[in-house]
Amino acid sequence: MKIGITGSLSSGKSTVTQMLSKGLGPIFNADIEVKKLYSSKLFQKKVSKKFNFKGKNFKKIIKAKIINKQLSLKKLGKFVHPIVRKNMHHFAIKNSKKKYLFFEIPLLVESKLMRYFDVIILVSASKSKRVARFVKKGGNLSLFNILDKHQLKPKEKRKYSDVLIVNNRSKKNLKIKVNNVKNKIL
């Protein structure tokens, strides 16, 4: 069974994915795949050449260019998403004998990947909670707003989801909700 977990920025997708998958199956995390790409010298070279920028701290440069509207997330996404999608397919093939596969993909609906999953779980939280979580992790408010605008609103994502988990309270409360979902779908 392929389970897709999606949601807006800082909604708690990773926490839900960890709780849900514990002891059941491997996780494909799109954000981790992107971080791996950003660490690759070959990828950095290709992106720097494609978007014509230079500097030593690749990730910092990209963030600054996005915040200053010198680099569009859409253009960057057209470069990054096909590679992440290819890695996702390799993960699925490599783990095809496992009973459960978990895919944490923030842009699952935006990338029109719904047909790949047996169950789609949407993790949602209020914007104020998400902003607080993002800033607490060292995130920049301007970057949050840009990234958040790039994603569909939870109301739109809900149309394509089988399960909704609202994460506006404590971790203990979230664990109860995740266990209820586990009992229903697994």
Torsion over CA of 176, 180, 185 and 186, rounded to 10 degrees?
Answer: 60
**Would you kindly state where each structural domain of the chain is located, as residue ranges?**
2-185
- What is the distance between the alpha carbons of residues 112 and 106, in angstroms, rounded to a whole number? 12
Q: Is the pLDDT of residue 56 over 90?
A: no
SS3 string, 40-65, reads CHHHHHHHHHHHCCCCCCHHHHHHHH
Average the pLDDT over 130-137 and give the result: 97
183: pLDDT confidence band, cut at 50, 70 and 90?
very high
**Average pLDDT of the chain, as a whole number:** 95
CATH class of 2-185: alpha beta
Question: pLDDT by residue (tens digit) across 83-133?
Answer: 999 999 999 999 999 999 999 999 999 999 999 999 999 999 999 999 999
